[in-house]
């Protein structure tokens, strides 16, 4: 009993913070999703009407599709780029500490600064990216953030550039735990670089790869700040995602019950995908 009480005494402060700041708001969120409340006056219980309204809301369907579109592009691209950087910077090179810091720096840079710089880089008329494309022979380069067709790919590129440093650090830490003896044994058996990477490195990185995939998936589904300062959901609704839909309905239109229903859908989407990833990883391990 004494040991148990000591353990609870260490856990209790963190749990109290979690309960007050996360658990209670989530419970309230589920209740609010069943009400019609616009912050003024008392809430009115409406059952599942908010969810039925979501099914017929074209703006929500667009935001849902855009969220999936962003996630499908962002998750694999970030994994590939961050893993490639980790493999490159895992070697003993001169100045490797500088390059590791430089790769991580975008992750801690202000979102507003990132949006300002990349808006200039992606400028259709005067941006250096389109100038380079014109120089190599592309007469009509994309409009990027001003184009409904290219805005989301541009956001994915910027988001990948921002996030790659953080996940590179995770992969780098995992790579440094791979026993060199395994690579030496594979080299003596005649395995080339690709075979050693696929049959030695990748299996040893599986726990880290699983963690990175789960975190990337959740963060991709709830992307908000970068899109808000880059495009504000435009042009039109081409980059509007579920989080921004929730923000608009809740804090701009004061439809807190309806916004809560959309937040519940986003919450359940994250839960379902995460559980599916856990089951898939467990099946691979068995």
Residue 205 neighbours by CB distance under 10 Å: 20
Q: Decide if pLDDT at 54 tops 80.
A: yes
Asked if the peptide bond before residue 280 counts as cis, ω within 30 degrees of 0, the response is no
pTM score above 0.75: yes
In a domain, 39, yes or no: no
Instruction: At 114, list the tokens.
Output: 């990132």
Do residues 231 and 145 lie in contact, with contact meaning Cβ atoms separated by under 8 Å?
yes
When pLDDT is averaged across residues 15-27 and rounded to a whole number, the result is 91
Q: Is residue 39 scored above 80 in pLDDT?
A: no
pLDDT higher than 80, residue 15: yes
Q: How far apart are CA 93 and CA 102, in angstroms?
A: 15
- Identify the band that residue 184 occupies on the pLDDT scale cut at 50, 70 and 90: confident
Average pLDDT over residues 85-102: 88
3-state DSSP helix/strand/coil % of the chain, to nearest 5: 75, 0, 25
- Is 38 inside a domain boundary? no
Whether the per-residue pLDDT at 242 is higher than 70: the answer is: yes
pLDDT for residue 238: 94
d(C-alpha 179, C-alpha 204), whole Å = 9
Domain that residue 79 falls in: 50-285
Judge whether residue 286 has pLDDT over 70: no
In this structure, is residue 122 part of a structural domain? yes
Look at residue 4 and tell me if it is in a domain: no
Mean pLDDT over 124-143 rounds to 91
List the beta bridge partners of residue 45: 35
Q: For residue 228, give both structure tokens.
A: 């808000």
Number of structural domains (the chain) is 1
Q: By the 8 A CB rule, do 85 and 212 touch?
A: no
For the cut 80, the answer to whether the pLDDT of residue 35 exceeds it is yes
- 195 within some domain: yes
Q: The domain spanning residue 232 has which CATH number?
A: 1.10.3720.10
Instruction: Dig out the tokens for 195 from the structure.
Output: 């075979």
pLDDT of residue 95: 84
Element (H, E) at 276: helix 256-285
The pLDDT, as a whole number, for residue 117 is 93
Per DSSP, the three-state class of 44 is strand
Distance separating alpha carbons of residues 161 and 172, to the nearest angstrom: 17
pLDDT at 37 over 90: no
69: pLDDT strictly greater than 70: yes
Mean per-residue pLDDT of the chain: 91
Note the Cα 172 to chain centre separation in Å: 19
275 in Cβ contact with 218 (< 8 Å):
no
Distances (CA, A) of 232 to 110, 115, 146, 240: 17, 11, 11, 7
Give CA–CA dist 26/5, Å, rounded. 28
Judge contact between 85 and 93, C-beta under 8 A.
no
Place of tokens 């990833």: 277
**Which pLDDT tens digit goes with each residue over 185-201?**
888 888 888 888 888 99
Q: pLDDT at residue 139 above 90? A: no
Q: CB neighbours of 228 closer than 8 A, spacing ≥ 6? A: 244, 247
pLDDT at 41: 76
Give the pLDDT of residue 262: 96
For the chain, how many residues are written? 286
- 11 within a domain of the structure (yes/no): no
Mean pLDDT calculated for residue range 16-22? 91
- Tell me how far apart the alpha carbons of residues 97 and 92 are, in angstroms, rounded to a whole number: 10
Q: What is the dihedral of CA 60, 65, 69, 74, to 10 degrees?
A: 40
Mean pLDDT of all residues in 95-115:
90
- CA torsion sign, 226 to 214 to 70 to 58? negative
């Amino acid at each position: 009993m004494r040991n148990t009480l000591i353990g609870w005494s260490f856990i209790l402060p963190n749990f109290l913070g979690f309960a007050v700041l996360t658990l209670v708001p989530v419970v309230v969120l589920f209740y609010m999703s069943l009400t019609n409340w616009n912050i003024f006056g008392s809430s009115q219980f409406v059952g599942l009407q908010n969810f039925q309204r979501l099914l017929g809301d074209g703006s929500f369907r667009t935001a849902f599709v855009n969220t999936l579109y962003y996630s499908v592009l962002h998750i694999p691209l970030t994994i590939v780029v961050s893993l490639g950087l980790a493999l490159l910077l895992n070697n003993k090179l001169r100045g490797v500490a500088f390059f590791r810091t430089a790769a991580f720096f975008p992750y801690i840079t202000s979102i507003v600064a990132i949006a300002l710089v990349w808006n200039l880089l992606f400028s259709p008329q005067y941006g250096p990216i389109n100038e380079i494309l014109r120089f190599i022979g592309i007469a009509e380069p994309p409009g990027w953030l001003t184009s409904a067709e290219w805005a989301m790919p541009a956001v994915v590129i910027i988001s990948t550039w921002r996030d790659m440093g953080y996940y590179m650090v995770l992969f780098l830490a995992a790579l440094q735990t791979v026993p060199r003896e395994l690579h030496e044994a594979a080299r003596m058996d005649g395995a080339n670089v690709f075979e050693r990477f696929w049959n030695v490195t990748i299996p040893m990185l599986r726990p880290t790869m699983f963690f990175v995939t789960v975190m990337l998936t959740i963060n991709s589904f709830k992307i908000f700040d970068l899109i808000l300062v880059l495009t504000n959901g435009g042009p039109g609704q081409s980059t509007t995602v579920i989080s921004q839909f929730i923000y608009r309905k809740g804090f701009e239109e004061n439809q807190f019950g309806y916004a809560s229903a959309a937040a519940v859908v986003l919450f359940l989407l994250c839960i379902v995908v995460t559980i599916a990833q856990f089951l898939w990883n467990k099946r691979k391990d068995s």
